[in-house]
Amino acid sequence: MPLPEESSGLDIPDGVPVIDVLHTGIDQHGHPFEVTHFVMRADFNGLDYNVPVED
């Protein structure tokens, strides 16, 4: 559930959850170069991941 400042900043009604994402960007050499944290309203957003699986 959102923190009070997230609820007011995102104009979230009571009872609406958030999606809290911490993402680390990795370069072609496997080194991290960026960290991003973002919070989204779960009633307006979703995440879709494609994960390749090796045979």
Reported pTM: 0.70
- Tally Cβ neighbours within 10 Å of residue 39: 17
Question: Which pLDDT value is given to residue 44?
Answer: 94
- The CA radius of gyration of the chain, in Å to the nearest whole number, is 15
Question: Which pLDDT value is given to residue 9?
Answer: 92
C-alpha–C-alpha distance, residues 39 and 41, integer Å: 7
Q: Write out pLDDT tens, residues 3-31.
A: 999 999 999 999 999 999 999 999 999 99
Length of the chain: 55
What are the structural domain ranges in the chain?
4-41
Locate all alpha helices (DSSP H) within the chain, ordered by sequence. Answer: 4-9
Question: Which pLDDT value is given to residue 51?
Answer: 86
